[in-house]
Chains A and B, each alone.
Chain A
């Protein structure tokens, strides 16, 4: 049966066909849809959202130890969080097959950096697969489980945004019934204390040697001979991009299994072609290996380190120019940055916070990161998940040592990000006696990645009801005495809460609680937020004085008519959050029933 699938859908299908029984992940672009699709196989696979990637991988390791085929899936920066268990499960090995999917965001379409997670495979001494399209993604994930069990090793599976989010035709198969293997206690293998680790370490090296043999002989690494004047060495989507440019006018060494690299095959390819181009995204890993083998090749001296190796990039690097393009007057195009939706519950907080003087705002990863931009200017920095609270702490501690310091540091973090790695940071704030102001923007969902459940929503990935985490109680349990929960759409409440927090000489937490406007409300949400999204706002043009105060809320439903000099609200977009209504100085904005 043939289906048109994205790489992520194909991985999910492949995992199901491979007999996977347990899968865990934390959402993150471009990996999110892998678990969302795996979750649809409810009868066969236990699929879960974990609070973070470390927990996801550790859960998968446990599932593997007791004998099930298991996987964990994450975006590239998520593997940093999961790196701790990754490096040691390489030593302990597995029981049921274990595959860790890393989705690298080459081109940084939706990420804070462009790290190349092929480096993790080398550093942790773990085999790695790299599919180039959806069909390979489905087939290789099945092979990855076979290799995992055959060699007793976790396997890394590296995909990139372009593989994750591109569709291709995939020939689908049936599920292989893989029984749960017997669990036999073996502390020498699974307890990495100094008495056991030297033997584990030896096994890792032995395994790598065997895997290099596999790398040389597997059909996933192959030579494709055409014109031999140019030889291209490529893995992942770079191979597809290269074929688009060179077609049959070059020969290829196509690498699907990239750690350890197939040294013998690389030498063989080098002996058959005149000139070698290594086309790889991010770091020169294959290139360096070729050079270490004494093989001359062109790599990062020709191709850029950063960004995708799309056909135009390759063409420009090799031939000096890409295809001819039509140039246009760029003054006729205005930027279109992503913005907060009409009715976004972050708006009220950003509007008030951005106005505060003598304030540093420590941001985090989520939709609220857009608060750095116009018209809010409500962020000074952000780094990684959970960092807002801890960075604010360090900054405030140092500022407090300065005489006459009048700067307060405010951290802003979402509900899901707080659960991810913010809790540890808040423990630190309380334990080390900070006086930071910490705002948890609880929009009742993991929003930016497209609405995934989390420990605060009361539902699991596979739709079961579960416990709700009480954020207020959790914050208090961390040792924070000053806690307030507010409605962020009520600007007076926001302002008063901020005034209160600024007046304290101790740490405080403000929880802004209102659902994301795009969330499909649960029955509990409907009960708790009875009036949500039931009205609209409209401008009385008789009263409007054209002061544009309402446009400073950055709402995409509001526009300003320059000819009439009046503000307008698009009734199709407005959901009646009433933030604009509160900022209008002449009360020209009113409520109408939706």
Chain B
């Protein structure tokens, strides 16, 4: 059975590191893994997505519409933008964190209200405040690894040696805070 995880956010939020750690862990656990992301102009503050698929044998690196088991959104509005990729009975983890896009910054639009309500009404929604949790453990930037922790828990991947994965893939001075972050994330859901 192939599982599909969709990570979405805004360019610069660290979705790439989170998915790198995730795929390294899945590979170490013996799964076939494929991951897909689109680089390019989107890194200039645009909407970004990373598709991760794993199982015994994975063909498509892309999650199809209605195909993701979980959707993990690093930014609030992005969760809605990508919702059509979620399975009808899938779960959303949404970070309660807003980043204004250019039309909002220029005053052409307002940041929409009622997003969390809309999500909760439509599907199983877990709201986390990864930004606040990250600050609590001393580094605002580890929001991404906290969110990775939520994936680990929800997908039942606690058996993988995440400590080793983090030690192998993160710069030495950030190892400790990231070790804390993944545990915080696992405890949030």
Question: By the criterion CB–CB under 8 Å, are A310 and B40 in contact?
Answer: no
Flag whether A26 is at the interface (Cβ < 8 A): no
Q: Is B174 an interface residue (CB 8 A)?
A: no
Known contacts A4-B23, A29-B39, A162-B62, A326 near B86 by CB under 8 Å: yes
List chain B residues, Cβ under 8 A from A326.
66, 83-84, 86, 88, 122-123
| Distance A30 CA – B87 CA, assembled complex (angstroms) | 29
| Assembly CA distance A315 to B107 (angstroms) | 41
Q: Are B106 and A338 in contact (CB under 8 A)?
A: no
**Given known contacts A323-B65, A332-B80, A339-B102, A162 and B36 CB-to-CB distance under 8 angstroms:** yes
Instruction: Give the total of A residues in contact with B, Cβ under 8 Å.
Output: 61
Which residue of B has the minimal Cβ distance to A6? B35
Closest-CB distance, B59 to chain A (whole angstroms): 4
Q: Which B residues are CB-close (under 8 A) to A558?
A: 105
- For residue B41, which residues in chain A have a CB less than 8 angstroms away from its CB? 110, 338, 370, 448
Structural contact, A312 and B39, CB atoms closer than 8 A: no
Q: Please determine whether B33 and A109 come into contact, CB atoms closer than 8 angstroms.
A: no
Known: A339-B102, A551-B107. A312 touches B66 (CB 8 A): yes
Minimum CB–CB distance for B18 against chain A, Å: 14
The 8 A CB mask of A332-369 against B (1 = contact, 0 = none) is 11111111110000000000000000000000000100
- Number of interchain pairs (Cβ within 8 Å): 189
In Å, the complex CA distance between A419 and B96 comes to 45
A161 at the interface (CB under 8 A from B): yes
Contact indicator per residue, chain B 56-91, by CB within 8 Å of chain A (1) or not (0): 001111101111000000000110110111111000
Question: Which A residues are in CB contact (< 8 Å) with B78?
Answer: 336
Contact with B along A26-39 (1 / 0, CB 8 A): 00011000000000
Contacts of B101 in A (CB 8 A): 334-337
Q: Which stretch in A52-60, A116-124, A165-173, A270-278 binds the other chain?
A: A165-173
Chain B residues, CB < 8 A from A240: 59-61
Give the B interface residue count (CB, 8 A): 60
| A560, CB-defined interface residue at 8 Å | yes
A109:B40 contact, CB within 8 angstroms = yes
Q: Residue on A with the closest CB to B100? A: A559
- Answer whether residue B172 sits at the interface, using C-beta atoms and an 8 A cutoff: no
Which residues from chain B contact A308 at a C-beta distance below 8 Å?
Answer: 62
CB distance from A171 to the nearest CB of B (A): 12
> Given A322-B65, A331-B112, 16 other A-B contacts at CB below 8 A?
A4-B24, A166-B34, A166-B36, A168-B33, A168-B34, A240-B61, A310-B62, A327-B84, A332-B118, A333-B81, A334-B77, A338-B43, A339-B45, A558-B105, A559-B100, A560-B107
